[in-house]
A = this chain, B = another copy of it.
Amino acid sequence: MKTNKPLILITNDDGISAPGLRALISVMAELGEIVVVAPDAPQSAMGHAITTNSTLYLNKISLEGDSFTEYSCSGTPVDCVKLAVNEILKRKPDLCVSGVNHGSNSSINVIYSGTMSAAVEAGIEGIPAIGFSLLDYDWNANFEPIKTFIKKIVLEVLENGLPQGVVLNVNFPKLEEKDIKGIRICRQAKAFWAEKFDKRKTPQGRDYYWLAGEFINQDKGEDTDEWALENNYISVVPVQFDLTAHHAIQNLNTRNWNE
């Protein structure tokens, strides 16, 4: 019975035509009824951007009789989730999966990532959600080695759900399937990008900048996502959207703000 199948919303930030999205669709099609709503163009590094001051368009791509429903959207990854839930899906989905991103979203990258922001948005709306990323920025990256693991993770989440207010950030090392050691629950490593801007001149002589930079991991903890990935594990970080630094409240309450 089609109605007994879980309803799975699929999105990404590399855009509707990205091979990573196609790989995710191929795995999800085995597990449930799927609806794809993805940006009509690449939206990497869009973070949790939403379109409030402009219009949004949806284009239905799938045809009558296709095995799943597919839309492209003119907005950001977060817009895709909002439009899918409010305008496309007939009921709240059982799961939202985002990716597979072409490139890492481990450690601090989670905060810049459109892939993860789409998953977080689903989480805010009460939908269990997972973002998947492969440590290979190549458009022609090989997603075959990770398909079995994606399926395993999704089945576990479909069966047992996720803790309230938590979505998963899953990163895969760039390895053959046989060389992947397994799945590890991790915390986000303390890392940052040491920015360098490449300063250039336009043909008209005006200065412009390209963002470049070097990833610096300061965190040697073996419970981090960076450690797991460097040691051939798949990292799974539970991510929350209550950003309160609860541990800092005591310190701040000792100060004299009102004097």
Contacts and interface: CB of A to CB of B under 8 A. Distances in A.
Number of copies: 2
A211 B249 contact: no
B124 A163 contact: no
A83 interface: yes
A43 B53 CA distance: 9
A215 interface: no
Contacts of A117: 47-48
Interface in A143-194: 152-153, 156, 160, 162-163, 165-166, 182-183, 185, 187-188, 190, 192
Interface string A191-216: 01001110100000011111100000
Nearest to A113: B48
Contacts of A197: 56, 82-83, 86-87
B108 A241 contact: yes
Contacts of A252: 163, 185, 236, 238
A152 B259 CA distance: 9
A187 B56 contact: no
A192 B160 contact: no
B163 A243 contact: no
Contact of A243 (B53, B78, B239): B239
A86 B195 contact: yes
A45 interface: yes
Contacts of A208: 55-57
Contacts of A110: 243
A163 B248 contact: yes
Interface in A26-50: 42, 44-50
Given A160-B255, A165-B245, 13 more contacts: A47-B47, A47-B50, A48-B48, A50-B211, A83-B197, A87-B209, A162-B248, A166-B248, A185-B252, A236-B252, A238-B244, A238-B252, A240-B243
